[in-house]
């Protein structure tokens, strides 16, 4: 019987962070303290947890983080003024604005104001354009992490049929672009796709990022598929599960990411790596 390969994001993320420790140490020898500015507006509890985790992971690899916790009532002008200041501050190498922002602030406008060369999230329109022109400068961390996880496991995507479920700006669209850049044949699906499950069954590589607990079942995939599950959902029992029914799909897949421990840890590792890259430049 075929053994399914588990695409272990925790292990690879650990490896990347070990390498980053050495790189930050070399930077510090040159008198450069790589630094990430993290802006959090309001009191969204999930965002607070993400920000806390980012701080911890950054400190572990020798990256400095500068916290900017702004009140829920912050105006767009106030946030733009802070970004303008950080853009020209040579001691700051990366700027991250934790989303979602409160409704009085237009997040697209904020994203576009961040200096593209400090845009660790890769959300600035210039960086998005560079990705689509196959000349990426700064990549969104989650799709970047997925590509690294596939590469680590010697999964070559060239010539394969990759089906992406979901078309968000932070996962679906950029992972589709990265797969296309890597010579996959890419199908992008979404909530209006008529024959979704017919398409997922054709996938050699299936990337699922929709936010629906255990949506993809064994009948929706072909044997030998490589499955990347981006979803993070709580099921009825309160357990963290992906968009893929792992118990059903794992036995027939060639390789699959677990949830948790797959894509999640990679996202944060790539955020740290991008900050270090910016500091090295």
Residue 196 touching ligand NDP (CB under 6 A):
yes
Identify which of 231, 235, 236 has the alpha carbon closest to the alpha carbon of residue 264. Answer: 231
Q: Return the residue of 30, 31, 88, 192 that touches ligand NDP, per CB under 6 A.
A: 192
Residue closer to ligand NDP by CB (options 204, 229) is: 229
- Applying the rule CB under 6 A, the residues between 199 and 218 that interact with ligand NDP are 209-212
Identify which of 160, 149, 214 has the alpha carbon closest to the alpha carbon of residue 187. Answer: 160
Is 168 annotated for ligand binding?
yes
Taking the C-alpha atoms of residue 81 and residue 168, their distance in angstroms, rounded to an integer, is 28
Residue 51 CA: distances (Å) to CA of 12, 33, 99, 168, 182: 21, 20, 11, 21, 31
Fill in the per-residue mask, 139 to 158: x = in contact with ligand NDP (CB under 6 A), - = not in contact: ---x----------------
Q: Which range touches ligand NDP (CB under 6 A), out of 24-32, 52-60, 153-161, 185-193?
A: 185-193
Minimum separation from the CB atom of position 57 to ligand NDP (A) = 13
- Applying the rule CB under 6 A, the residues between 5 and 34 that interact with ligand NDP are none
Q: Is 54 in the active site?
A: yes
- Applying the rule CB under 6 A, the residues between 228 and 267 that interact with ligand NDP are 230-233, 263-264, 267
Residue 170 touching ligand NDP (CB under 6 A):
yes
Residue 171 touching ligand NDP (CB under 6 A):
yes
β strands within 122-264, DSSP E: 161-165, 185-189, 205-208, 226-229, 233-234, 240-241, 255-256
Q: Is 85 in the active site?
A: no
Residue 107 touching ligand NDP (CB under 6 A):
no
Is 167 annotated for ligand binding?
yes
Taking the C-alpha atoms of residue 83 and residue 36, their distance in angstroms, rounded to an integer, is 13
Minimum separation from the CB atom of position 281 to ligand NDP (A) = 25
Is 166 annotated for ligand binding?
yes
Structure-token pair, residue 235 = 């099921």
Residue closer to ligand NDP by CB (options 62, 231) is: 231
Q: Where are the alpha helices (DSSP H) in 30-163?
A: 45-60, 76-87, 107-113, 125-132, 141-152
Strand 233-234 relative to strand 240-241: parallel, antiparallel, unpaired? antiparallel
Residue closer to ligand NDP by CB (options 105, 165) is: 165
Q: Where are the alpha helices (DSSP H) in the chain?
A: 9-29, 45-60, 76-87, 107-113, 125-132, 141-152, 172-181, 196-200, 246-249, 263-280
Q: Is 48 in the active site?
A: no
Q: Which of 119, 121, 204, 229 is catalytic?
A: 121
Residue closer to ligand NDP by CB (options 27, 170) is: 170
Minimum separation from the CB atom of position 17 to ligand NDP (A) = 15
Read off φ and ψ for residue 166, nearest 5 degrees.
110, 145
Taking the C-alpha atoms of residue 5 and residue 164, their distance in angstroms, rounded to an integer, is 20
Structure-token pair, residue 11 = 């292990």
Interface with ligand NDP (CB under 6 A): 142, 165-168, 170-172, 189-192, 196, 209-212, 230-233, 263-264, 267
Active-site residue numbers?
Answer: 54, 98, 121
The annotated binding site for NADP(+) is made up of 166-168
């Amino acid at each position: 019987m075929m053994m399914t390969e588990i695409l272990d994001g925790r292990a690879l993320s650990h490896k990347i962070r070990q390498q980053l420790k050495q790189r930050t140490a070399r930077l510090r020898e040159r008198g450069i303290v790589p630094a990430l500015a993290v802006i959090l507006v309001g009191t969204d509890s999930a965002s607070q947890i993400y920000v806390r985790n980012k701080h911890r992971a950054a400190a572990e690899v020798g990256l400095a983080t500068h916290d900017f916790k702004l009140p829920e009532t912050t105006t767009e002008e106030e946030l733009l003024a802070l970004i303008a200041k950080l853009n020209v501050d040579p001691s700051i190498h990366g700027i991250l604005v934790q989303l979602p922002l409160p409704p009085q602030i237009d997040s697209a406008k904020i994203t576009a104001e961040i200096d593209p060369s400090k845009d660790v999230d890769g959300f600035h329109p210039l960086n998005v354009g560079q990705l689509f022109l196959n000349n990426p400068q700064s990549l969104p961390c989650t799709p970047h992490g997925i590509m690294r996880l596939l590469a680590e496991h010697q999964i070559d995507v060239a010539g394969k049929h990759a089906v992406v479920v979901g078309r968000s700006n932070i996962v679906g669209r950029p992972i589709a672009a990265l797969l296309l850049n890597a010579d996959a044949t890419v199908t992008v699906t979404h909530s209006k796709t008529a024959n979704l499950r017919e398409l997922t069954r054709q996938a050699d590589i299936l990337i699922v990022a929709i936010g629906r607990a255990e949506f993809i079942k064994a009948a929706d995939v072909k044997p030998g598929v490589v499955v990347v599950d981006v979803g993070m959902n709580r099921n009825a029992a309160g357990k963290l599960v992906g968009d893929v029914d792992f118990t059903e799909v794992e036995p027939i897949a060639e390789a699959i990411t677990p949830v948790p421990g797959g894509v999640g840890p990679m996202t944060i590792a790539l955020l740290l790596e991008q900050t270090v890259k910016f500091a090295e430049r």
